[in-house]
Amino acid sequence: MRPDYPLKTERLVLRPFEPGDLDDLHAYRSDPDVCRYLYSEPGTIEETQQRLDKSLTMDELTEEGQWLVCAVTLDDRVIGDVVLKWVSEKDRQGELGYVFNPAYQGNGYAREAAQAMLRIGFEEMGLHRITAVCDVRNEPSWRLMERLGMRREAHFRESEMFKGEWGDCFIYALLEEEYDGTA
């Protein structure tokens, strides 16, 4: 499954990453506040280059377990990235994720981009269920999941060792029958 790029929303363009996106990507992937709830640490420019190189090959889904990664652009600048993992072909499951530059947060861009990925998952891939996971302390992330129409299904307490301490996470989900394309 390869989306018909570029994906256009009301204000944004989602597209595969390009080699020239390094500086924009590094601007937020090297920020300690952005990485606080991510598994990755703030990256050096070399580490961001490695992330970008890997992302350059993640523009389509050919088998379960793969991630579709899109650069979210506003006025030709990468302001974040959204991902959709193909979790299971048999069970028609996916997982949504997103990371944004703090300079662009609070404007509804993450919601707009995430809605585009939900559309791909439900309308183009025919997924039955899409989940999203976040650290319980990441209130902006779980609030976004709720605005997208996702419901909290679980609160896993101390479910993993995360950056040197036991971490809790919320699991959110949206079913195909609940998706209306307008979140």
> Structural domain boundaries of the chain?
7-130
Nearest to 149 by CA among 177, 117, 183: 183
pLDDT digits (tens, 9 = 90+) for 56-68: 999 999 999 999 9
User: Reduced to 3 states, what is the DSSP secondary structure of residue 87?
Assistant: strand
Q: What are phi and psi of 101, to 5 degrees?
A: -65, 130
User: Reduced to 3 states, what is the DSSP secondary structure of residue 148?
Assistant: coil
Q: How confident is the model at residue 183 (pLDDT cuts 50, 70, 90)?
A: low
Q: How far apart are CA 30 and CA 37, in angstroms?
A: 13
pLDDT at 113 over 80: yes
Superfamily of domain 7-130: Gcn5-related N-acetyltransferase (GNAT) (3.40.630.30)
- This prediction's pTM: 0.95
pLDDT at 130 over 90: yes
Q: How far apart are CA 161 and CA 98, in angstroms?
A: 21
How confident is the model over 28-50, as a mean pLDDT?
96
How confident is the model over 21-31, as a mean pLDDT?
98
pLDDT digits (tens, 9 = 90+) for 146-178: 999 999 999 999 999 999 999 999 999 999 999
Residue 114's pLDDT is 98
Q: How far apart are CA 89 and CA 14, in angstroms?
A: 24
Residue 181's pLDDT is 79
Q: How confident is the model at residue 182 (pLDDT cuts 50, 70, 90)?
A: confident
